Chains A and B, each alone.
Chain A
């Protein structure tokens, strides 16, 4: 039966100042809408740019680290003199030992979604007098496709043709342009150690990166091995994709321990990109919180103003038996009504904004603006909105609860 009177007072206060209530609620609406939209934007763009990275970088790369020659004599406390040495890379071969067995073992790991052996060869592409340098990826094209979705970048030819064509090559459109090559033309490829091979263009690809299109090619593993003057057991890297790319740095360690070789995760390989992502996240978070705080301040302000105008009312309520807790409830409720209305509208506005943005065509291989409705972030936004307005109401309400009625009546 006690429900009601506090609510009734709070609602009456709100209804008698509709305009201010609406303004404060709209402040929250904008704050929440921007908060949700910004965070949705971060998720969307991160997802897009992560995907772009995963088109060329595996989650984890297993390779053999260069070894640096060690001093002949160890430093120790007893020997004061240090043997001067000249540190050099001491291992000649980057070959992983028994790659087939390694690959097998890696593929058996439950976390691993795909893995491929890989030989990189620095090469010159020649056609007549024109020459272009670049990198040839010697890799099983089907496994590579599973990892990098190469198929989506193909503009001519078919990936599978490479499997059946031992001397086939798939080149970027940039190379084809510069060397005026068409499908099924021959291209001569020279490696850094001088091995020359005549290969047949069986496919063309086009990515969003000009430099890649001008230098990269895919060839069979054996072709790359031959270009480097090596036999069929020569493999320099194993590329691994796992279920959760965020876990790559940690899981890389596991793989490294398993294989005994070094690893590089995609984050380490793209430090600049990861740093940029962090900066973006911090920037957006700061902006969205700043706007949210302004909105909260709007609510704080109106509740605070109501309280200072209603000192007499608070005094008589306390005199007639309302406790400090009742007074807090009344004013927090006023803040919450504004906050909840504002938050709901903000949620809807964010959904609308997201929808509008997702219909903006950007072009290139991005297509439409990479944004979509993200439920968890939206719900977090609603939670944050309600929490913040609670705080914005509670702070002045606590002050109201402490009003000493005697001090008011004496005036």
Chain B
């Protein structure tokens, strides 16, 4: 069966100039497929986060080319990139980055309201479904700041999923979680990738987490080594 490429990089390289010029990423070329649960590993400082930010379209200062869904992303205008992220990419970070004044439900709804594809009622309905899937429907109307760390991370995953993006990018999504919550997150990602056909690209330090994923890319000193 032919696998569909959703994200592709061609010889991506990046320099940092402060305090000294050094090449943090060198000739990164790889492809990520639809419905794939992909993990990025490597020693601390190997450039995983830096690469993820380039893939996320938020960092535009690099050489080489980035394609999402066969469309060239490199060189697009910032507003276009924002729209692409809104529609195609969901984010989960080590910290939840929920807006503290809003309820969990609202936090999840905001990217969808921005997209403006569905009515307020429909978006609310979808947000409840995501919360239900992550087992925290009963927390919907609480302010985000009143939840436990594991619950907050699940809310942020629900937020990443709300626009049904093609790709979900994660930077150490379980970095702050205990083993029980880590398992919940892992199972959720597995389900998202294999049942819903969305692609997960997750940076992780957790070897077991990486081993259990579909494929692992290892970075060392800014190069792909495996």
Residues 89-124 of B contacting A (Cβ, < 8 Å): 91, 93, 97-102, 110-111, 113-116, 119-120
Is B159 an interface position by the 8 A CB rule? yes
Binds B, one of A2-10, A128-136, A245-253, A391-399: A2-10
A409 touches B171 (CB 8 A): yes
Residues 311-335 of A contacting B (Cβ, < 8 Å): 312-313, 315-326
With A316-B97, A320-B91, A409-B53 as contacts: A5 and B113 at CB distance below 8 Å: yes
| Minimal beta-carbon separation of B103 from chain A (angstroms) | 10
Is A157 an interface position by the 8 A CB rule? no
Is A12 an interface position by the 8 A CB rule? yes
Q: A358 vs B66: C-alpha distance in the bound complex, in angstroms?
A: 72
Is B59 an interface position by the 8 A CB rule? yes
Quick one: which of B85, B101, B171 contacts A320, CB cutoff 8 A?
Answer: B85
B53 touches A1 (CB 8 A): no
Binds A, one of B76-84, B126-134, B190-198, B216-224: B76-84
Q: A143 vs B5: C-alpha distance in the bound complex, in angstroms?
A: 98
Is B49 an interface position by the 8 A CB rule? yes
Q: A321 vs B78: C-alpha distance in the bound complex, in angstroms?
A: 10
B97 touches A315 (CB 8 A): yes
Is B58 an interface position by the 8 A CB rule? yes
With A319-B91, A405-B58 as contacts: A12 and B101 at CB distance below 8 Å: yes
Is B56 an interface position by the 8 A CB rule? yes
Chain A residue nearest to B169 (CB atoms) is A319
A321 touches B119 (CB 8 A): no
Chain B residue nearest to A1 (CB atoms) is B116
Chain A residue nearest to B143 (CB atoms) is A16
Is A74 an interface position by the 8 A CB rule? no
User: Residue among B78, B87, B114 with the most chain A CB within 10 A?
Assistant: B114
Quick one: which of B79, B116, B159 contacts A323, CB cutoff 8 A?
Answer: B79
Residues 15-61 of A contacting B (Cβ, < 8 Å): 16
Q: A409 vs B173: C-alpha distance in the bound complex, in angstroms?
A: 13
Taking CB atoms, residues of chain B closer than 8 Å to A313 are 97, 99-100
Q: Interface residues of B, CB < 8 Å — how many?
A: 30
Q: Interface residues of A, CB < 8 Å — how many?
A: 28
Is A100 an interface position by the 8 A CB rule? no
| Minimal beta-carbon separation of B195 from chain A (angstroms) | 23
Quick one: which of A16, A324, A326 contacts B114, CB cutoff 8 A?
Answer: A326
Quick one: which of A4, A13, A321 contacts B85, CB cutoff 8 A?
Answer: A321
A2 touches B116 (CB 8 A): yes
Is A410 an interface position by the 8 A CB rule? yes
Q: A12 vs B110: C-alpha distance in the bound complex, in angstroms?
A: 13
Q: A124 vs B159: C-alpha distance in the bound complex, in angstroms?
A: 98
Taking CB atoms, residues of chain B closer than 8 Å to A4 are 113, 120
B101 touches A321 (CB 8 A): no
Is A406 an interface position by the 8 A CB rule? yes
Is B86 an interface position by the 8 A CB rule? yes
A325 touches B79 (CB 8 A): yes
B87 touches A321 (CB 8 A): yes
Taking CB atoms, residues of chain B closer than 8 Å to A13 are 101
Residues 136-178 of B contacting A (Cβ, < 8 Å): 159, 171
User: 0/1 per residue, A343-360, Cβ < 8 Å to B?
Assistant: 000000000000000000
With A313-B99, A315-B97 as contacts: A322 and B114 at CB distance below 8 Å: yes
A406 touches B79 (CB 8 A): no
Taking CB atoms, residues of chain A closer than 8 Å to B115 are 321
Quick one: which of B56, B78, B101, B114 contacts A5, CB cutoff 8 A?
Answer: B114
B113 touches A321 (CB 8 A): no
Q: A380 vs B79: C-alpha distance in the bound complex, in angstroms?
A: 36
Taking CB atoms, residues of chain B closer than 8 Å to A325 are 79
A321 touches B99 (CB 8 A): no
Taking CB atoms, residues of chain B closer than 8 Å to A409 are 53, 93, 171
Q: A405 vs B171: C-alpha distance in the bound complex, in angstroms?
A: 14
Q: Which residues of A contact B (CB under 8 A)?
A: 1-2, 4-5, 8-9, 12-13, 16, 312-313, 315-326, 404-406, 409-410
Q: Which residues of B contact A (CB under 8 A)?
A: 49, 53, 56, 58-59, 78-79, 82-83, 85-87, 91, 93, 97-102, 110-111, 113-116, 119-120, 159, 171
Given A321-B83, A321-B115; 18 other pairs, CB 8 A cutoff: A1-B119, A2-B116, A4-B113, A5-B110, A12-B102, A16-B101, A313-B100, A316-B99, A319-B56, A319-B85, A319-B91, A320-B114, A322-B86, A323-B78, A324-B82, A326-B114, A409-B93, A410-B49
Pull 13 A–B residue pairs with CB atoms less than 8 Å apart, ordered by A: A5-B116, A9-B110, A12-B102, A316-B99, A319-B85, A320-B91, A321-B85, A321-B87, A321-B115, A324-B78, A326-B114, A404-B58, A406-B58
